[in-house]
Amino acid sequence: MSTDTVSAYNYPSDIGFVAGAKYFRNLSTVLPGSFNATSIRLGTGIANGGDGGSSKTFLTYGGPNLETNSFRKAYSLAVTETFLWNINKAYSLNAYGIFTKSQGASDSLNKTPDYLGKQSLFNRKTDFSIGARGTWYLTNWLHLLHELDFAWRKDGTQEFAQMTKFTIAPAIAPAARRDVWTRPHFRLVYSLAHYNKFAADNLYSPYLAQSGSRSWGHYLGVKAEWWIW
């Protein structure tokens, strides 16, 4: 008796394209290493790469157009900006901004079916985040990190989810260098986050998924970070 080895789901073939550009400039400061970098990336079709905020082209965002059985109208646009400014021998500022806008191939403004007919995929999203981390070099080996982050996201026609987070982290740097990249780092970390009502009610973060719906979140712990290469 033979066994049917044909896949239960025969998905149609599809195509997509990706293009990107990056601008990088070194900045002249008292402490070396300051820079500014800007990038833009556009993914289209099944290679839009917009799912989960990742640049991997195979992580396709949104649902297909079930009339054409393709992702032809899907796209994801991502723009990033980051800079490091070593202001003087006592202080460095590292900041970033990320904007992503993604759309699936379906005409739906909210959720849309996948190839199996499930109403489980958002077909539109916009997210935006900015943040800055300051490093105060108290001594060569003791650094005080302090960071402020803001994230905003809207999925489909839902209300937007918003989070603001402040972190303070004294860090021991055994290499004794005044450099934001010096490793290893041993840190005592305290973070305080505020979520808007929609984010809290819908558990829009791993922290909320564990703690339940709440407007404020706290984290206190120790972290170690080092790089192998």
Note the pLDDT tens digit of each residue in 146-163.
999 999 999 999 999 999
For 60, which DSSP code? -
Give me the torsion for CA of 200, 203, 208, 211, rounded to 10°.
100
Are 217 and 192 in contact, with CB atoms under 8 Å apart?
Answer: yes
Q: Partners of 191 in the beta sheet?
A: 167, 219
Q: How far apart are CA 166 and CA 190, in angstroms?
A: 8
Model pTM?
A: 0.90
How far is the CA of 186 from the CAs of 133, 173, 226, in angstroms?
17, 7, 9
Q: Is residue 128 scored above 90 in pLDDT?
A: yes
Mean of all residue pLDDT scores within the chain? 93
Are 81 and 96 in contact, with CB atoms under 8 Å apart?
Answer: yes
What is the CA 30 to chain-centroid distance, rounded? 31
**Token pair recorded at residue 5:** 């080895």
Lowest-pLDDT choice from 54-68, 132-146, 194-208: 54-68
Q: How far apart are CA 143 and CA 185, in angstroms?
A: 9
What is the dotted CATH code of the domain comprising 16-225?
2.40.170.10
Burial class (CB in 10 A: 0-12, 13-18, 19+), 23: exposed
pLDDT, tens only, 78-125: 999 999 999 999 999 999 999 999 999 999 999 999 888 877 899 999
